[in-house]
Amino acid sequence: MRGKGTRVFAGAWIVVCVLLAGASAPSGAQFAGSLPVEAVRDVVPNRVMTWNLCNPCDESNVDRAAEIATYAPQVIGMQEACVRDVERIRDYLKSRHGLVYHVAYGSVLRKWGRCGGAPWHPGAFGQAILSAAPMTDVVTVEYPDGGSEDRGYMAVTTTVDGRPVRVFDTHLAQRRQEAVRADQARVLAAAVARHDRAIVLGDFNAVPEAPELGPMWALARDADPGCGPSSTGNCKPTTDWRSKFDYIFLRDVVALRQRVHPTRYSDHDLVHADVAVAR
């Protein structure tokens, strides 16, 4: 009798736990059916993040994953991303933090010196997007002129705040290449303009008042409420040299708040925003 009673009690307790776990899932998380509940219950469904990982940098992917897990965004746009590093970060997010992400790559460069590997099998380098919800219509575009290094953008359709959104991730040409960045920004803006609702993440390598960012400001607003295309704006810096280079541009998406988190694991800060997507 004792064994039977114990089994009945255990069965009842399991039911209670399942009900509690279901109640803890974020409201409006339409993607919950595609991923384990325990993997997504701490993801913030309306939070997006951009982070230049810094490469080449000798940083621990365990630490990078821990930084991301602290804020648990629904979508993360990465720049200067080696595929092998992103794979490890994704694995650590799952195994150490219980956060499961889908991944899409926007690699534009294969170079042994950038991401290791052998000369005949170089690592892929560029952008990557992690999303708690599945991604569709993945596009990778290399800019006609990358400047001193191949650069491009990627785009996916995924779920943010319970709604489908086109998400872009880009990295413009390095500093002191204003004319190249201007051409890249025009290419990117033309792609963004085709979507009524879009989020553009990335390292633009330019301060807000830089003329080359004009096409983006004409289409969207930055998630930082004090920031705009003027030197008189109150833009929060996002790099170790205290310039704003990292943006979360929003088109028909409203920023509820933005936060910049300095980190010792990159020369760029983590930037995330909580947003509201129009129904």
Can you point out the beta strands (E) in the chain? Answer: 44-52, 73-82, 102-110, 117-118, 121-122, 124-131, 136-142, 152-160, 163-171, 198-203, 221-222, 246-251, 253-261, 270-277
pTM of this structure: 0.84
> Is residue 28, in this structure, part of any structural domain at all?
no
> Is residue 141, in this structure, part of any structural domain at all?
yes
> Is residue 25, in this structure, part of any structural domain at all?
no
Residue-level pLDDT at 26: 36
| Strand duo 163-171 + 152-160: pairing | antiparallel
- The residue with greater pLDDT, 63 or 4, is 63
Q: Which domain holds residue 93?
A: 41-277
Residue 226 contacts by C-beta under 8 Å, 6 or more apart in sequence? 233, 234, 235, 236
Tell me: the pLDDT tens digits for 113-145?
788 877 777 889 999 999 999 999 999 999 999
For the CA atoms of the chain, what is the radius of gyration?
20
- Taking the C-alpha atoms of residue 209 and residue 227, their distance in angstroms, rounded to an integer, is 10
Residue-level pLDDT at 28: 35
- Number of domain units in the chain: 1
> Is residue 53, in this structure, part of any structural domain at all?
yes
> Is residue 52, in this structure, part of any structural domain at all?
yes
> Is residue 195, in this structure, part of any structural domain at all?
yes
Per-residue confidence at 231, pLDDT binned at 50, 70, 90?
confident
> Is residue 270, in this structure, part of any structural domain at all?
yes
Provide φ and ψ at 63, rounded to 5°.
Answer: -70, -40
Question: Over the chain, what is the mean pLDDT?
Answer: 86
